[in-house]
Amino acid sequence: MARTTLSQRAEDLRVAADAAEGRIADEVIAAARLALQRAGERSQLSAEHTVVALAGATGTGKSTLFNLLTGADLARTSQQRPTTAFPVAAIAESSDIAAGSAALLDWLGVKERHELDVSARHPEGLVLLDLPDHDSVVTEHRVRADHVTERADLLVWVTNPQKYADAVLHSRYLIPLAGHEDSVVVVLNQLDRLTHEDAAACLADLTRLVQADGLRARILGTSARSGEGMPQLEALIARAVDRREAATARLTADVRHAAAELLAALPGTAPDARALADARRSLVDALEHAAGIPLVVDAVRDSSLRDGFARTGWPPTRWVRALRADPLRTLGLRPPERRREVDAPAESELIRSSLPTASPAVRAQVATATRTYVAAAAAALPGGAQERVNARAVAASAGIVDSVDRAIVRTVKVRSSRWWGVANVMQWLLLAVAIAGGSWLGLLALLDYLRMPTEGLVPTLTVGEFDVPWPTLLLVAGAALGLLLALVSGFAVRAGARRRAARVAGRLRDGIAAVAHNEILDEVDAELTALATAREAARRAAR
């Protein structure tokens, strides 16, 4: 698996912080953004320099170690405390990279600077700092020390046999550095004050305490007076400078630590998918009940039957169907004839149906289903997000029935089938044939009544052994075929009405689901998506 770069981790942490903004504690987000800010600032500064900071409490001898490491009395040492008020820098560099150290030290807030000759002890790019005491009685000293310890590439924490178990050292400084093993060295100084056995015991105890802090840092024992451990410390610093990896290791550790803190602040589990799906279905079902979907579907079917019979039925009996009220127009789901041509999506937003208004009990069912859905998602939502989403969802549920009504108005469109027109033309042609035959027979009856001759007015059609008069044939055939066409069309109209009702029912459910999403579900889904994004991005940044 490819190694994750610092830039990739920083981008993942940025995505996680953006997604978690407003959903977890502000201080966690602030810590993540601070880590990103430091990483961005340090990445823009000199990569040829490695900042090694000596930090520690009063009287641990860090300034003496600083002078030994530099080979000169650059840091002031004294029995009077505090001694170091401002950070002191010793820099080993050539003129080619001198500009880089100046900008770097300005960022660290270090004004006092001394030059070192580049050598085996002082590799090029070394920036060695002596910091004020972290437990100084002067607040400004502690602030300056903390400012640098939070930004140094390699932090050498100096303590002594009297102070290595100090609770402040471990709780305030070492425990927050968990995960920074490649960027921290803990030095137990002043071993010359102990016997060999006591020194070994103190080092072992310090190792135990540091590991209990969650920090697997390197631990060295030194003595500024005897020089014990100094070669090892010098070699460790020189190796870090030569590799040019300390800055990246520190920034990586900072980003990983911030990502781990952010991940810990996020809910660790996603909601139960089955419970969430069941709650979603219950909410949509409650909305369908509130909207009166069965009533609308029945109206679509009945209206389709009415329209179909009116267009394809036998013309002499169509008026019976026309006497029945249009179910859709009764519900306000079909505009009057004069408005059909101007019916538009924008206008449908202004039209209310005449469906029965949802009762308070039905609206309460919708509100209950909304709360149930939010509760199903609560396992993956922080407390603040739960309250915010629940308040918005319940408020939205109060007016969602009106939104559903508008969705029904937009959805219900019952149009004529093309074959209705063909059947209508055929019915009128057959009726015309029957009327022609009946008129012809009527004329013949009138002539016979008047005792007038009718020879030549009644042609016949020979069918087998029978001679059928054309007027009779036209009347009987036109009426019979019209009735037969009406019968066949009736079956087709009923089948089409059922299909049309089923399609409208599906579209209505989709429309109601869309309203539910827009008004309620999207709010919850957005929170779940944001938290899932934050969780996954933080997990990538922290690994």
pLDDT at 1: 47
Instruction: Inform me whether the pLDDT recorded for 247 exceeds 70.
Output: yes
Among the residue ranges 55-59, 218-222, 265-269, the one predicted with the least confidence is 265-269
Among the residue ranges 281-290, 339-348, 350-359, the one predicted with the least confidence is 339-348
- Grade residue 244 by pLDDT with cuts at 50, 70 and 90: confident
d(CA 47, CA 419): 80
pLDDT at 454: 67
Average pLDDT of every residue of the chain: 84
d(CA 425, CA 479): 15
* pLDDT single digits (tens) 431-476: 999 999 899 888 888 887 887 776 666 677 666 666 778 888 889 9
d(CA 354, CA 347): 16
Burial class, 349, CB count within 10 angstroms (exposed 0-12 / middle 13-18 / buried 19+): exposed
d(CA 400, CA 407): 10
Do residues 408 and 331 touch, judged by C-beta distance below 8 A? no
Do residues 70 and 89 touch, judged by C-beta distance below 8 A? no
SS3 letters across 355-366: CCCCCHHHHHHH
Pairing between strand 112-116 and 218-221?
unpaired
Q: Residue 299, Cα to own-chain centre: how many angstroms?
A: 40
* pLDDT single digits (tens) 123-153: 999 999 999 998 887 888 889 999 999 999 9
Q: In the predicted model, what is the mean pLDDT of residues 363-382?
A: 72
- Grade residue 78 by pLDDT with cuts at 50, 70 and 90: low
SS3 letters across 214-253: CCCCEEEECCCCCCCCHHHHHHHHHHHHHHCCHHHHHHHH
> Among 11-25, 311-325, 330-344, which range has the highest average pLDDT?
11-25
Q: In the predicted model, what is the mean pLDDT of residues 47-51?
A: 93
Q: Which helix (H) or strand (E) holds 21?
A: none
Q: What's the whole-model pTM score?
A: 0.67
Instruction: Inform me whether the pLDDT recorded for 277 exceeds 60.
Output: yes
- Grade residue 338 by pLDDT with cuts at 50, 70 and 90: very low
Pairing between strand 88-92 and 112-116?
parallel
Q: At what angle do helices 522-542 and 6-20 cross, to 10 degrees?
A: 150
pLDDT at 350: 40
Closest residue by Cα to residue 104 from 149, 53, 47: 47
Pairing between strand 218-221 and 460-463?
unpaired
How far, in Å, are 157, 185, 227, 357 from residue 350 at the CA level? 73, 73, 90, 17
d(CA 250, CA 108): 15
Instruction: Inform me whether the pLDDT recorded for 340 exceeds 50.
Output: no
Q: In the predicted model, what is the mean pLDDT of residues 26-46?
A: 93
